[in-house]
């Protein structure tokens, strides 16, 4: 994940970096910029941009407005010590407004929700029995199912046998909205319609098993995931 922090005060760049590294770990690339001009001159697309709105030279609003002309898919998050100015953010379609007085909690929530949004547009490489190695949009996958020693991937309109391991996929997709509801089922929470104590109903009408011992933990993770999507 590539993240940019744009702020003319080094202390705030460092503060935001510390929260990001604590929340996401060290396996993330962070670019630091002391002005809107230097950020734009970099000419790089970032997944997430944390942008101070009060800077010398070009302010944060103008910088985002120009940046979005070239990189409209980036998630832009406003940093401010003056929350009354955040109302202007509608002009640049900002994803979040972070109050510097409440930095840790608000940056963590913004990262959680931004990750959910990014994951909805992510891809995964699968080895399919009939097609070989292909890239598949995560949002098109309903669930994986282990059946008769085969692993089926159920898509919206079709299904395939894939050679991947369900446990490996569960680990790879654990932070991307997928949950191993049973030893035989790995479900994309985006496609869940409803669930009971031991069964999940998928939006296409399919039903998959939910282990009773996993029910409570699954419920908590599903609510957390839904909260992130609702606040995207």
pLDDT recorded at residue 56:
86
Supply the mean pLDDT for the chain: 89
What are the domain boundaries of the chain?
2-120, 123-230
Question: Which H helix or E strand runs over 29?
Answer: strand 29-33
Q: In this predicted model, what pLDDT tens digit does every residue of 51-109 receive, in sequence order?
A: 998 888 888 999 999 999 999 889 999 998 876 555 565 566 788 889 999 999 999 99
CATH superfamily entry for domain 123-230? LytTr DNA-binding domain (2.40.50.1020)
Give the pTM: 0.64
CA distance 178 to 84: 38
pLDDT recorded at residue 43:
94
Residue 214 structure tokens: 């996993």
CA distance 182 to 77: 37
List, for the chain, all residue ranges whose pLDDT scores fall below the cut of 50. Answer: 232
pLDDT recorded at residue 232:
47
Q: What is the DSSP letter of 42?
A: H
pLDDT recorded at residue 86:
56
- Is 162:153 a contact under the CB 8 Å cutoff? yes
According to CATH, what is the number of the domain 2-120?
3.40.50.2300
Q: Do domains 2-120 and 123-230 have the same CATH topology?
A: no
């Amino acid at each position: 994940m590539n993240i940019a922090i744009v702020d003319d005060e080094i202390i705030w760049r460092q503060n935001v970096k510390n929260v990001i590294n604590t929340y996401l770990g060290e396996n993330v690339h962070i670019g630091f910029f002391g002005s809107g001009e230097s950020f734009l001159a970099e000419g790089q697309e970032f997944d997430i941009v944390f942008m101070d709105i009060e800077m010398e030279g070009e302010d944060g609003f103008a910088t985002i407005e120009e940046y979005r002309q070239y990189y409209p898919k980036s998630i832009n998050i406003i940093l401010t010590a003056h929350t009354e100015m955040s109302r202007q953010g509608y002009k640049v379609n900002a994803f979040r407004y972070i109050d510097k007085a409440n930095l840790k909690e608000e940056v963590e929530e913004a990262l959680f929700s931004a990750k959910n949004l990014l994951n909805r547009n992510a891809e995964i490489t699968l080895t399919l029995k009939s097609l070989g190695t292909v890239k598949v949009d995560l949002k098109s996958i309903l669930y994986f199912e282990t059946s008769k020693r085969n692993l089926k991937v159920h898509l919206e309109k079709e299904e395939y046998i894939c050679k991947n391991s369900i446990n490996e996929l569960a680990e790879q997709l654990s932070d991307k909205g997928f949950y191993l509801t049973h030893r035989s089922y790995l479900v994309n929470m985006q496609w869940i319609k409803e669930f009971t104590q031991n069964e999940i109903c998928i939006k296409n009408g399919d039903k998959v098993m939910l282990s009773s011992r996993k029910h409570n933990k699954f419920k908590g993770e599903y609510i957390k995931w839904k909260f992130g999507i609702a606040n995207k």
